[in-house]
Amino acid sequence: MDVNRRDRIQVWTPLFFSLVLILGMVLGFNLRDSLRSKRELNAVIQRNDRLDELIDLINQKYVDTVNCNQLYQDAITGILKSLDPHTVYIPAEELQGVNDDLEGGFSGIGVEFSIVRDTIQVISVLEDGPSSRAGIEVGDQLIKVGDSVVAGKNITSDQIVELLKGKNESKVFVTVIHAPDGLVKHVGIVRAIIPVNSVEASLMLDEVTGYIKINRFSANTSNEFSAALKKLKKQGVKQLIIDLRDNPGGYIDAATSIADDLLDDNKLIVYTKGIRSPRTEYKASKDGLFEHGKLAILVNEGSASASEILAGAIQDWDRGVILGRRSFGKGLVQEQYELPDGSAIRLTVAKYYTPSGRCIQRSFAKGREAYNEDYEKRFENGTLTTQDTTAITDTVPFYTSTHRVVYGGGGIKPDVYVPYDTSLLYSGVLSMLYSQELKTAIWDYFIHNREALRFRNIADFNRSFETPEQLTGNYFAMLTPEIRKGALKQLSKPVNDLYFRQQIKAQMARFLFKDNGFYSISLRQDDMVNKALEVMNSDRYSKMVNGK
């Protein structure tokens, strides 16, 4: 009996000590991780303490008064400076404005304005918006907002916007000089959510070609795009130009949703991944509104991020033709983290890859300053005005669906290159068109001839209106003799004069028919749009999308 018990003890003893050893190891590892976490937390606290101690010391002993909040902000900026150029700190006072652009709306009174002769002129009133309901009309002049005088104060547009924005359903009182009768009126306006449209224009360029201009990818962009495309389909669109020039990007979901309208068969649109972010794929999943039909995407050096996602998907699947100039080259994905003081950090958490597998992020190895100066360098070396001869930094070839070779590491290179029109760049005509004097002359003509400028539609306006000599004469009268002489010399060239007058006509069309009016006129002289039409209306298009 004792022998049997001793045998059983001998059998179980090694197992018992093994269990004790395993338990000890588990407890040891847990204790180690606990202590490590404690050390890491203590290290963070110590680092924060050191920063606080330093700022306290500066505040107590420094020779001059200091702004402690600015010191903290500078410290955060300094920390982020060693990371990529798109990881950024957003101060609390700027965050709302940044979010408004992406969320597609803000609380305001529903007017557009222009500052003419240091006076706030209402140039557009949102239909059935707060100002419209309060009786504000185009041509009214804002004299006061609340207790703040805004006329004759050298006030900026940003300052006016801040005065007019406010809490939703709050009331703001404005003093205006009413356009029809010149009477001074005090008006109370109840603020409401004002949409910020990201689809800037949508129109038919001819019987079969539609055009949609997207200026950012916000929360509402997909719905705006769908609505615009449905309207164009009712007008008979068979081929489509999507203009992404100078579109800085925005929400990835907005870009992939639009790509889903253009791609079929569960095609991959983009995927993201990072060291701490698992691979996430975005695929076409719905019956798209324009899965067939000729397609052209316009890009330039200002097309970034979500714009490049859309253009990259279309190019990799040979769904359409990319025209313009090499895009910005931002292949990084950010997430926004808000801080307790109301500020935020946009932190890069992943890279995105086009369907062929390329990341189009350009190098920032030489620092943020060199990274931000890329546009100037491209202009100086002629890659924006002649041919893009930039050396390929990522020499690994990737392949489109028809086995065309494409590369990553430096933006989306267009299938058809369209340079800047140097004849306009160097003539001074663009400076004339963007001058305050011309803006004033156009506005004066519009205000004094509103009855004569009543047209049934854009087509009627385009047929009947020619830029009047009275308008250009008033413009020249505002210039100094020396500047006037130079302007007249440039406009003595017929091509410059034609462009100048057509762009004035486009700006007048904006007053009458908003952005669609402007683009319906201005696009007639747009080199990139005309090249897109040329390509789509020739056999060159089918050869390109078929990989020939």
**Residues assigned a catalytic role:** 305, 316, 330
Report CA-CA distances (Å) from 127 to 136, 171, 175.
Answer: 11, 19, 21
- Rounded CA-CA distance 304/368 in Å is 16
Which residues, 6+ apart, have CB-to-CB distance to 437 below 8 Å? 475, 478, 479
Q: Are 199 and 221 in contact (CB under 8 A)?
A: yes
Amino acid at 125: V
Residues β-bridged to residue 228: none
- Rounded CA-CA distance 491/250 in Å is 40
- Rounded CA-CA distance 59/307 in Å is 46
Which residues, 6+ apart, have CB-to-CB distance to 232 below 8 Å? 202, 203, 204, 210, 212, 240
Helices 469-478 and 481-491, axial angle in degrees (round to 10): 140
Q: What tokens appear for 256 in the block? A: 């992939």
- Rounded CA-CA distance 433/472 in Å is 11
Question: How do 321-324 and 416-417 pair as beta strands?
Answer: parallel
Helices 481-491 and 494-522, axial angle in degrees (round to 10): 80
The residue whose two tokens read 């609505």 is 227
- Rounded CA-CA distance 350/279 in Å is 9
Which has the closest alpha carbon to 159: 176, 134, 142, 138? 142
